[in-house]
Amino acid sequence: MFEIYFNLIEDSRILAALFIMLYALAAVCAIRELMTSRTAQGTIAWLLSLIFLPFPTAFLYLAFGWKYMGDYAALQAFSGRKNRAKRVREMGIADEITSSEWPVLSNITQMPFLGGNKSELLIDGQATFDSIFAGICEAKSIILVQFYTIKSDKLGNRLAQILIEKAKAGLNVMVIYDDIGSSKLSKSYISALKQAGVKVNAFNQQHKFLRIYGPMRINYRNHRKIVVVDNKKAWVGGHNISVDYLGENPKFGHWRDTHVCVHGPAALSCALVFREDWEWATGEKLNFGLPEIEKPRDETVLVMPTGPADKLEDCAIAFSEVISRARKRLWIVSPYFVPGVDVQTALYGAALRGVEIRILLPEKADHTLVWLASYAHADKMLEHGIPIYRYNKGFLHQKIILIDDEIAGVGTVNFDNRSFSINFEVTLWFTHKRMIANIEKMLIDDFSQSSATTRDELKKRPLWFRIAAQFARLFSPTL
Q: Which residues contact 374 (CB under 8 A, 6 or more apart)?
A: 336, 337, 338, 361, 416
Closest CA to 337 of 394, 392, 242, 401: 401
320 to each of 179, 304, 415, 420, how far by Cα in Å?
Answer: 30, 15, 11, 11
Q: Which residues contact 183 (CB under 8 A, 6 or more apart)?
A: none
**Catalytic amino acids?**
223, 225, 230, 397, 399, 404
b/e burial code for range 51-71 (CB count within 10 A of at least 16 → b): eeebeebbbbbbbbbbbbbee
Please check whether residue 399 is in contact with residue 337, taking contact to mean a CB–CB distance below 8 angstroms.
no
Q: Which residues contact 299 (CB under 8 A, 6 or more apart)?
A: 115, 116, 117, 118, 119, 264, 430, 432, 434, 435
